Amino acid sequence: MHAKSDSDVTSVDAVSPPRSPRRPLYFVQSPAHSHHDLEKMSFGSSPFGSPAHHFQYHSSPIHHSRESSTSRFSVSLKNGGWRRIQKKINEGVMEEEEDGDGGSDGEGSDSGQVKFYVICFLLSFVVLFTLFSLILWASSFAYKPKIIVKSFSFESLNVQAGMDATGVPTDMLSLNSTVRIFYSNPATFFGVHVTSTPLLLHFFDLKIASGQMTRFYQSRRSARKLVVVVEGQQVPLYGGIPLLNGAKQSVAVPLNLTFRIRSRAYILGRLVKPKFYRNIVCSFTLRGNHLGRPLNLTRTRSCVYDLD
């Protein structure tokens, strides 16, 4: 037999396929391995490698499987797997944001509806309350207070010579009288606060006496009689009433009593305030033979009541 030369052996090895079943190790390699590890694996898997390295590689199958799986996972990530995972993560984040936006939109619509209902309730309440107040205000005028000047009486009358504040001599008049007034509040759901202007007694344009009525409160469905004192002390006449120079029994002086009574009601606190103003003018004659006796003004219809 012919001995094979080294060149023959090399050519035979180059033609014959590799007998090692671990040829895929040349194509699968984790990026984490260093160049030195790659040389080890290539040398250990080569058919011309040293027996020691070859035996050591076969003695660790678990290590080989772990490296193979790691290498495959790394290669799959390199080939676009990481991009797909990142894309899925981004899609999940976007869906969560959309869900959050939808929830906020739902909450915003609910709060908008609540505000709308609150505004409608307030407007309805204001309208109804205003309407109710107007009804009360209009109905209150059906219960106007009744005022009647019952009588006027002269208690005393005195004329004497004197001087005014500047020292001018003239006749001085002193007069004392009382006025009786009947006041009634027919209202069923409110009381009234009553005040008055001063009661003025005039002889034409000359004021000879005055009086003031005290303010009071008149409850609903009630009435009272008022007595007001009207007097004048040392009033200079300057010859304005020549009829007073004669005897008292024959004195007849036309006089006018004027005043204004103000009545005000407070309904629903002070929200509804109906007012009732009454101007009163009474005309009568002062007679000397009626001193000390009341003059009935209702019988003669001497008073005029005007609404203001």
Both tokens assigned to 224: 């009272």
Q: What is the pLDDT of residue 106?
A: 56
Tens of pLDDT, residues 188-238: 999 999 999 999 999 989 999 999 999 999 999 999 999 999 999 999 988
* pLDDT for res 184: 97
What is the structure's pLDDT at 303?
94
Q: What percentage of the chain reaches a pLDDT higher than 90? A: 40
What distance in Å separates the CA atoms of residue 78 and residue 72, rounded to the nearest whole number?
Answer: 10
Residue 252 identity: A
Identify how many contiguous H helices and E strands the chain contains and give both numbers. 5, 11
pLDDT beyond 60 at 272: yes
Half-sphere exposure of 223 (CA within 13 A, CB side): 11
Q: What is the mean pLDDT of residues 73-94?
A: 58
Which of 62-71, 103-112, 199-208, 279-288 shows the lowest mean pLDDT across its residues?
62-71
Closest CA to 144 of 258, 306, 302, 283: 306
Helical segments of the chain, H only? 6-15, 35-45, 51-58, 61-76, 82-140
**131 residue type, one letter:** L
Q: What is the pLDDT of residue 45?
A: 44
pLDDT in tens, 145-201: 999 999 999 988 888 888 888 888 988 999 999 999 999 999 999 999 999 999 999
Band (94; pLDDT cuts 50, 70, 90): low
Counting beta carbons within 10 angstroms of the beta carbon of residue 46, is it exposed (0 to 12), middle (13 to 18) or buried (19 or more)? middle
pLDDT in the model for residue 118:
92
pTM of the model: 0.60
Range 134-149 average pLDDT: 93
71-75, 122-126, 189-193, 259-263: the lowest-pLDDT one: 71-75
Hey, what are 23's tokens? 């040829």
Q: Tell me the average pLDDT of the chain.
A: 76
Residue 10 reports pLDDT greater than 50: no
